[in-house]
Amino acid sequence: YRRTQWLHGPSPVTTFGPKACMLQNPQAVMHIQDPASQRLTWNKPPQSVLVIKKIRDIALLQPFKELCRFLTEVKSMLVYVERKVLEDPAITADENFAHITKKFCTFMEDFDDISNHVDFIICLGGDGTLLYASSLFQESVPPVIAFHLGSLGFLTPFKFDTYQSQLTQVIQGNAALVLRSRLRVRVTKGGIEKNGLSLTNGEVDKALHTDDYQVLNEVVVDRGPSSYLSNVDLFLDGHLITTVQGDGLIVSTPTGSTAYAAAAGASMIHPNVPAMMITPICPHSLSFRPIVVPAGVQLKIMLSCDARHTAWVSFDGRKRQEICHSDSISITTSCFPVPSVCFRDPVIDWFESLAQCLHWNVRKRQNYLSADDDEDD
């Protein structure tokens, strides 16, 4: 198949009839490399690799050891592994392998910053390993190649069987990439807010505490351990768009649209569509359908004035925290995507995953066909 136009869509003709045209505004022109042509290259040969393994999963043990041996002994790479992975008794019990692990760099989450030391990332296990990898890199993320052992995941397109040839290719560069957009989320605690606009002076600013998160799948605001759901206001570009009454609200990337948002009823969005998905969780209103908004809008979520209970927020299922009346959650699309190596290409990979992970449009096979179904329903 030879693509005849950009995956992003064609540039629109900007003359409208005989006399009208679009007002030129050079400052507002974006230069985007078309998603279908995004490929990996290396400034210098990669030397260090972070291996992320789902912990305490026995089925992954042997593949993990094999992979590490290959990287260390065949490819002469410096392998980074999280300390807790190596502390697994099943690892430490294997003396042969323990010998090799001495050459590894180990680190602890939230303690050691490895973000400038890792040239690429290998994930081994389910989609969760990629969410975890994303969480380790708050800014630029090294390329990720992700292997599944059991069944295909949305984020883990590679079979482990052929890992040697796959990795060799990636190390040589020129692999197809999908840039999975992330959300930059800022939680502001203790601010004084009104109608979504901060009204802060110097003193209040000091009291403010903000935390930033990079999110690959979704931000979830829900009722947490409470039986009572809170009213939550959603602002878009500073305007109050709607109030959520229900179990909560999901703001997801296209990548996240096939995760929790799909469970909550959203349509699925291909990761190369520049958009955010807003999905209510069990809304009281029958007409609260999910919506898809441009990637560049600025969302803000706060408790409603009249909310009688707090809400809880989590980021890719982690870092769950309470949201009180003076707090706000700001969400925009991040400029630091996760560059994932594609197995075939971004479009084919995605439809493979839809079929295999979500059984999308699986139908009963017609076991026998007839020339006429006039009597059939």
> CB of residue 303 vs a second copy: minimum separation in angstroms?
14
What is the contact mask toward a second copy in residues 199 to 238, using x (rule: CB under 8 A)? ------------------x------xx-xx-------xxx
Q: Using the rule CB under 8 A, give the single segment among 66-74, 97-105, 187-195, 353-361 that binds a second copy.
A: 353-361
φ/ψ region of 101 (left if φ > 0, alpha if ψ in -120 to 50, else beta) reads alpha
Residue 63's φ and ψ, nearest 5 degrees, are: -55, -40
Characterise 340 by phi-psi region: left (phi > 0), alpha (psi -120 to 50), beta (else): beta
Residue 97 to residue 76: CA distance in whole angstroms: 16
Q: Which of 108, 192, 212, 351 binds a second copy (CB under 8 A)?
A: 351
95 versus 138: smaller Cβ distance to a second copy: 138
Check residue 93 for interaction with a second copy (CB under 8 A): no
Nearer to a second copy, 14 or 164 (CB): 14
CA distance 294 to 236: 11
Stretch that binds a second copy, among 97-105, 186-194, 205-213, 348-356 (CB under 8 A): 348-356
Give the whole-angstrom CA distance, residue 194 versus residue 7.
41
Return the sign of the alpha-carbon dihedral for residues 66, 70, 73, 76: negative
Q: Which is nearer to a second copy, 42 or 107 (CB)?
A: 42
Residues in the chain: 377
* Binding residues among 145-174 for a second copy as defined by CB under 8 A: 149-151, 173-174
CA-closest candidate to residue 342, choices 353, 356, 333: 353
Does position 126 interact with a second copy (CB under 8 A)? The reply is yes
Asked if 43 touches a second copy (CB under 8 A), the answer is yes
Exactly one of 64, 80, 104, 120 binds a second copy (CB under 8 A); which one? 120
Which part of the chain contacts a second copy (CB under 8 A), choosing from 30-38, 99-107, 187-195, 207-215?
Answer: 30-38
> How far from chain centre, in Å, is Cα 266?
16
What is the spatial distance between Cα 67 and Cα 101, in angstroms, rounded to a whole number?
12
DSSP-derived letter for residue 141 is: -
Taking a C-beta distance cutoff of 8 angstroms, is the pair 195, 240 a contact? Answer: yes
- Binders of a second copy: how many residues, by CB under 8 A? 173
Q: Should residue 332 be labelled a site residue for a second copy when binding is judged by CB under 8 A? A: yes
Contact, 220 vs 277, CB < 8 A? no
The single residue of 94, 113, 127, 161 carrying the catalytic annotation is 127
Q: Is 89 in the site for a second copy (CB under 8 A)?
A: no
Q: Is 105 in the site for a second copy (CB under 8 A)?
A: no
Stretch of 96-104, 157-165, 202-210, 275-283 contacting a second copy, by CB under 8 A: 275-283
Amino acid at 40: L
| Calpha distance 264→312 (Å, rounded) | 17
365 lines the binding site for a second copy (CB under 8 A): yes
**Shorter beta-carbon distance to a second copy: residue 102 or 364:** 364
Q: Find the shortest distance in angstroms from Cβ 275 to a second copy.
A: 5
**Whether the Cβ atoms of residue 109 and residue 82 lie closer than 8 Å to each other:** yes
Asked about 127 being catalytic, the answer comes back as yes
* Choice from 56, 103, 159, 209 touching a second copy (CB under 8 A): 56
Residue by residue, what is the 3-state secondary structure of 45-113?
CCCEEEEEECCCCHHHHHHHHHHHHHHHHHCCCEEEEEHHHHCCHHHHCCHHHHHHHCCCEEECCCCCC
> Residue 32 or residue 93: which is nearer to a second copy going by CB?
32
The yes or no reply on residue 103 touching a second copy (CB under 8 A) is no
Window 300 to 329, contacts with a second copy (CB under 8 A): 306, 308, 314, 316-318, 320
290 lies in the binding site for a second copy (CB under 8 A): yes
Using the rule CB under 8 A, is 195 a contact of a second copy? no
Cα dihedral 74→77→82→88 (10° resolution) = 20
CB under 8 A: which stretch of 98-106, 206-214, 245-253, 321-329 binds a second copy? 245-253
Q: How far is the CB of 107 from a second copy (least distance, A)?
A: 15
What's phi and psi for 202, nearest 5 deg?
-55, -45
Distance CA(251)–CA(355), nearest Å, equals: 24
Write out the two tokens for 107: 């680190």
Catalytic residues: 127
